[in-house]
Amino acid sequence: ELLPYLRGGESWESYSFYRRRVNPRVGLGGSYSLRRASAVDAPERLTFHVSRGAVEYQLSPFWTVNAGFGFDYIPATILTPAQSAPGWSVGADWSARSQRFHVGYQRMFVPSFGYGGALQNRELNVSFYSPLFRSRRLYTEQSFALRDNDPLIEAPGRLRLRTMRINSRVGWAPQPWIRLEGFYSRAQQTTFLAAGGIGRNRIGVQIVTSRPVRVQ
């Protein structure tokens, strides 16, 4: 029998956005997403409404910064009251000669597929992509993420969780639709309690395929 915080779950989400270029440097827009989620054997199914207004500014030919601010809302269920909070994000992107760098921070509601319910999520993420040896077929990608999750409703077994993830990949793309990658990943989690930490390392090789489909 699985432990109550290892139940898993399911969700679906729809997302729509609008962007308009005001001038060569400034873009404005907004987005809205609707998500339905529930944990296995959970008596409630949560609905997440996420709305954002967004602004994008091009600092230079290489650097672009963006920010979004809005509102997160979860309607009441038979077990939990309605939840709401401001949600926001900031980010910066750099690109030059097929190299890409991204750093961003966001705060939003997300579902919990462990004990059920919802979490207040705060996440910092950094990533870098670069070709290797000036080749269009060889590349490397590095990423780092630090995430804090706080339960919206306090209850037994619902604990704060901090997760750190490091991912490193080196790949070869003989064709645009197929890639062969060697990877290493490290995940470290803690509940801020004594003996509440766990770590996992993964190393291996994977084949990634994708084929774009055009609908007319």
Residue 15 makes CB contacts below 8 A (sequence gap 6+) with 31, 32, 33
pLDDT band at 77, cuts 50/70/90? confident
**Which of these ranges, 32-46, 100-114, 127-141, has the smallest mean pLDDT?**
32-46
Asked if the model's pLDDT at residue 110 lies above 80, the reply is yes
Mean pLDDT over each residue of the chain, to the nearest integer: 89
Q: Helix, strand or coil for residue 73?
A: strand
pLDDT of 5: 54
Angle at CA 88, nearest 5°, toward 84 and 92?
A: 165
- Token pair 């604990």 is found at 159
pLDDT in tens, 166-180: 999 999 999 989 999
pLDDT of 215: 61
Considering the chain, what percentage of its residues have pLDDT values greater than 90? 68
pLDDT of 167: 97
**Which of these ranges, 1-15, 108-122, 136-150, 180-194, has the smallest mean pLDDT?**
1-15
Distances (CA, A) of 50 to 17, 29, 45, 186: 11, 14, 16, 30
pLDDT of 6: 56
Residue 216 makes CB contacts below 8 A (sequence gap 6+) with none
pLDDT of 150: 92
C-alpha–C-alpha distance, residues 111 and 8, integer Å: 11
pLDDT of 41: 72
pLDDT of 102: 98
Beta strand 99-111 with 118-131 is antiparallel
pLDDT in tens, 1-36: 444 555 677 889 999 999 999 999 999 999 999 999
Nearest Cα to Cα of residue 100 among 55, 60, 142, 135: 142
Distances (CA, A) of 91 to 47, 64, 104, 143, 179: 27, 8, 4, 15, 28
C-alpha–C-alpha distance, residues 114 and 198, integer Å: 15
The token pair that represents 164 in the structure block: 């750190």
pLDDT of 63: 97
**Contact 14/34 with Cβ under 8 angstroms?**
yes
pLDDT band at 158, cuts 50/70/90? confident
